Chain A
Amino acid sequence: MLRLLGLRRSAHALIASSASFLRPQNPNPSVTGAAASALLRCHPFSTNRAASSTVSDADVRKYLGYFALVVGCGAATYYSFPFPGDAKHKKAEIFRYAPLPEDLHTVSNWSGTHEVHTRVFLQPETLGELEAVVKEAHEKKSKIRPVGSGLSPNGIGLQRAGMVNLALMDKVIEVDRAARRVRVQAGARVSQLVDALREHGLTLQNFASIREQQVGGFVQVGAHGTGACLPPIDEQIISMKLVTPAKGTIEVSEEEDPELFCLARCGLGGLGVVAEVTIQCVDRHELVEHTFVSNIDEIKKNHKKWLAENKHIKYLWIPYTDTVVVVRCNPLSKWKGRPKVDSKYGKDEALQHVRDLYRDSLRKYRVEEKIEDSEINQFSFTELRDKLLALDPVNKDHVVKVNQAEAEFWRKSEGYRVGWSDEILGFDCGGQQWVSENCFPVGTLAKPSMKDIQFIEDLKRLIEREGIPAPAPIEQRWTARSRSLMSPASSSLDDDIFCWVGIIMYLPTSDALQRKEITEEFFSYRRLTQRELWGEYSAYEHWAKIEVPKDKEELSTLQARLRKRFPVDAYNKARRELDPHGILSSGMLDKLFPQVETV
């Protein structure tokens, strides 16, 4: 009670002193706030009683109310914070798996970086079923975005409102041995297709690092392997069966409708559900893979020659070191006899120093969990790298040490490997990760511009200047041009070549906070490369790796930029014609290619 009285007294005092800067709302427009407060301050007992008392009484009540509110809030805050040590009821939990309703499908991409929950996840088994699904969705204007294996690092196939997945339409329909062509349902995984082609003595011309993606997604996002004479995968497509919402099932090929064909080959799943694909194959062949360590000076001297001479070649640059790993693959038929396969060091020798670093780091970071030597000795290099990075993923000095160990590992892993092309061209690209891969023109095979090497020099300088905890490798690959209009390597000139450079940060942990930290670091890394390199080199991101900016201004800059490189209007026009209700589209596509009404 005493306390309450005290509060009241101080309330009066507060009003007297604060009335000078608080502006009361006055119902009488002729008396301004300033005047009223002057009245309150200077003439508390003015002779003009009627006017001043109406003003002050109302105001006093109001400010008393405000004051009580402030004091009340203050007291409530004081008594509820901080939590006592044993308080459990309100503590924020970092991450919690809430039980989801049973009819909700959760679909996530391989890197676990994108995830959606949906009630609509349709899996037709036949073309007829797929056609019915598309027709119904078109009539109801409900979303069915085509999604494959969910391999794309940016989850381009994901769509909360609904998806259609062709995993049950995975049959090889026909193999034409003479023409070396295969007709396959788009839900087949690349590995399934390659297994089926094997018995016919055929294989695909080129491969991405992983072979578990569905053919439909593989083609639609413009996947690519490496080799300056070999185009991205979409260029190998002879014809496609598209199930479209507005025009039903159509077969598109160069002969039938060249314009639509060139748009739809790398159509990002926006023009129709790709149901069947005819792919140009090549004879199954063995490759000799030669891995060796080089440096920038040697690369500069030999780059033009290497690019032209090797069927498949890629460079793996290791930030903060002079090391670049060169991996080149050529047909065994070009060799006289089989090359000596053995490398100088055994697997254990090549890994020993990495294991030692891991053991030292475990001690240094005082990891309590006991990890047996026998267990450490079983880890592959990429697993060791993941485990090492997980100890302190965004600490530059730590990452530099891991990179140096990686350089040493590759020095000890130089050598040759012989195998079938589909086995050799795969690449263990490590565990979960963030990647950003850009494609830019680098002249022609006869006259390379050397912009690719400049790009890397600039990038490595940027990394060192900014102290970015950039792990290895920066993967650099090449392709010939594609005639698909939406391909980042699209060009009308036959002998143009393009370079693809991927930067990476691994997500070697399931700890939500650590993942967030790495994610932020990665996006700052990516933003820096964007600011300093993309414009200068006319570099555009791979469709499976492009991330949509949250910031409105950044988004409109990106949209304008895409418009400069790609026939966005033609793509949108085709989308409007084939899919007027946008049932195949997604938030990502709508943001990248906003439908602008054209006159």
Chain B
Amino acid sequence: MASFGEAPPGNAQAGEKIFRTKCAQCHSVDKGGGHKQGPNLNGLFGRQSGTTAGYSYSAANKNKGVIWEESTLYDYLLNPKKYIPGTKMVFPGLKKPQERADLIAYLKESTA
């Protein structure tokens, strides 16, 4: 389960709970909602890292230049600080493949 291809299927409902407990204090997914401590995640899928207008990213995040999609998010969310050394995000990551898959399923629905 080292890559998204091998990950278990995600459950968006379970993912929403993870979002509420671990992400919502810094991120919003609502269209038109402002940035908080972290950037607004609306329109996340297909976007290049560090490019949301109006949010000031770390150089590390911009330089990474990764396109956010299931497979990259899956790797990123395991250990954000390892994936993008120097990121501002104080989030230690989700170790369980199931949790990452759930969260990604939720993000895909909610940020579209």
Interface residues of A (CB under 8 A from B): 97, 100-104, 106-112, 115, 123, 125, 149, 151, 165, 167-168, 170, 189, 212-213, 369, 371, 378-380, 383, 431-432, 510
Known: A112-B90, A168-B17. A383 touches B56 (CB 8 A): yes
* Contact across chains for A167 and B82 when beta carbons are under 8 A apart: no
Please give, as numbers and ranges, the residues of chain A lying within 8 Å of B86 by CB-CB distance.
510
Known: A100-B95, A108-B92. A123 touches B21 (CB 8 A): yes
* Contact across chains for A212 and B96 when beta carbons are under 8 A apart: no
Complex Cα distance, B36 from A558, in Å, reads 37
Does B85 count as interface, using CB distance less than 8 angstroms?
yes
* Contact across chains for B56 and A379 when beta carbons are under 8 A apart: yes
Known: A379-B56, A380-B56. A212 touches B92 (CB 8 A): no
Complex Cα distance, B93 from A401, in Å, reads 37
Q: From DSSP, what is the main secondary structure of chain B's interface residues? A: loop
Known: A167-B20, A212-B26. A106 touches B56 (CB 8 A): no
Please give, as numbers and ranges, the residues of chain A lying within 8 Å of B112 by CB-CB distance.
none
Please give, as numbers and ranges, the residues of chain A lying within 8 Å of B88 by CB-CB distance.
431
* Contact across chains for A102 and B59 when beta carbons are under 8 A apart: no
Contact with A along B70-112 (1 / 0, CB 8 A): 0000000001011001111010110111000000000000000
Known: A97-B79, A168-B21, A212-B36. A103 touches B93 (CB 8 A): no
Tier of interface size on chain B: 20 to 34
Contact with A along B35-63 (1 / 0, CB 8 A): 01100000000000000000010010000
Please give, as numbers and ranges, the residues of chain B lying within 8 Å of A97 by CB-CB distance.
79, 81-82
Does B3 count as interface, using CB distance less than 8 angstroms?
no
Please give, as numbers and ranges, the residues of chain B lying within 8 Å of A189 by CB-CB distance.
24-25
Please give, as numbers and ranges, the residues of chain A lying within 8 Å of B87 by CB-CB distance.
510
Please name the residue on chain A nearest to B98 by beta carbon. A102
Please give, as numbers and ranges, the residues of chain B lying within 8 Å of A383 by CB-CB distance.
56
Cβ 8 A contact of B56, one of A108, A115, A125, A378? A378
- 9 tightest Cβ-Cβ pairs between the two chains A and B: A106-B92, A167-B21, A212-B25, A102-B95, A149-B25, A112-B90, A97-B82, A102-B96, A167-B20
Interface residues of B (CB under 8 A from A): 17, 20-22, 24-26, 36-37, 56, 59, 79, 81-82, 85-88, 90, 92-93, 95-97
Please give, as numbers and ranges, the residues of chain A lying within 8 Å of B96 by CB-CB distance.
102-103
Please give, as numbers and ranges, the residues of chain A lying within 8 Å of B85 by CB-CB distance.
510
Please give, as numbers and ranges, the residues of chain A lying within 8 Å of B36 by CB-CB distance.
212
Closest chain B CB from A390 CB (angstroms): 11
* Contact across chains for A212 and B37 when beta carbons are under 8 A apart: yes
* Contact across chains for B25 and A104 when beta carbons are under 8 A apart: no
* Contact across chains for B59 and A104 when beta carbons are under 8 A apart: no
17 contacts across the A-B interface (CB closer than 8 A): A97-B79, A97-B81, A101-B95, A102-B95, A103-B95, A103-B96, A106-B93, A109-B90, A115-B92, A123-B17, A151-B25, A167-B22, A168-B17, A168-B21, A189-B24, A212-B37, A380-B56
Cβ 8 A contact of A371, one of B17, B25, B59, B92? B59
Total CB contacts across the A-B interface at under 8 A = 56
Complex Cα distance, B92 from A100, in Å, reads 11
Cβ 8 A contact of A369, one of B24, B59, B82, B95? B59
Other A-B pairs, 8, CB within 8 Å; known A97-B82, A106-B93, A110-B37: A102-B96, A111-B90, A115-B92, A125-B17, A168-B20, A168-B21, A378-B56, A383-B56
Please give, as numbers and ranges, the residues of chain B lying within 8 Å of A107 by CB-CB distance.
92
* Contact across chains for B95 and A104 when beta carbons are under 8 A apart: yes
Complex Cα distance, B83 from A20, in Å, reads 64
* Contact across chains for B90 and A110 when beta carbons are under 8 A apart: yes
Closest chain A CB from B23 CB (angstroms): 10
Please name the residue on chain B nearest to A382 by beta carbon. B56
Please name the residue on chain B nearest to A192 by beta carbon. B24
Please name the residue on chain A nearest to B17 by beta carbon. A168
Please name the residue on chain B nearest to A100 by beta carbon. B95
Complex Cα distance, B59 from A29, in Å, reads 75
Cβ 8 A contact of A432, one of B17, B81, B90? B90
Complex Cα distance, B102 from A258, in Å, reads 45
Please give, as numbers and ranges, the residues of chain B lying within 8 Å of A123 by CB-CB distance.
17, 21
Complex Cα distance, B91 from A109, in Å, reads 9
Complex Cα distance, B22 from A107, in Å, reads 9
Known: A108-B90, A123-B17, A432-B90. A167 touches B95 (CB 8 A): no
Please name the residue on chain B nearest to A191 by beta carbon. B36
Closest chain A CB from B37 CB (angstroms): 7
Complex Cα distance, B96 from A456, in Å, reads 49
Please give, as numbers and ranges, the residues of chain B lying within 8 Å of A125 by CB-CB distance.
17
* Contact across chains for A167 and B24 when beta carbons are under 8 A apart: yes
Complex Cα distance, B39 from A208, in Å, reads 21
Complex Cα distance, B85 from A103, in Å, reads 24
Complex Cα distance, B81 from A348, in Å, reads 33
Please name the residue on chain A nearest to B16 by beta carbon. A168
Please name the residue on chain B nearest to A96 by beta carbon. B82
Please name the residue on chain B nearest to A149 by beta carbon. B25
Complex Cα distance, B93 from A106, in Å, reads 8
Please name the residue on chain A nearest to B97 by beta carbon. A102
Complex Cα distance, B24 from A104, in Å, reads 21
Complex Cα distance, B8 from A433, in Å, reads 38
Complex Cα distance, B99 from A102, in Å, reads 10
Please name the residue on chain B nearest to A115 by beta carbon. B92
Complex Cα distance, B59 from A379, in Å, reads 11
Please name the residue on chain B nearest to A386 by beta carbon. B88
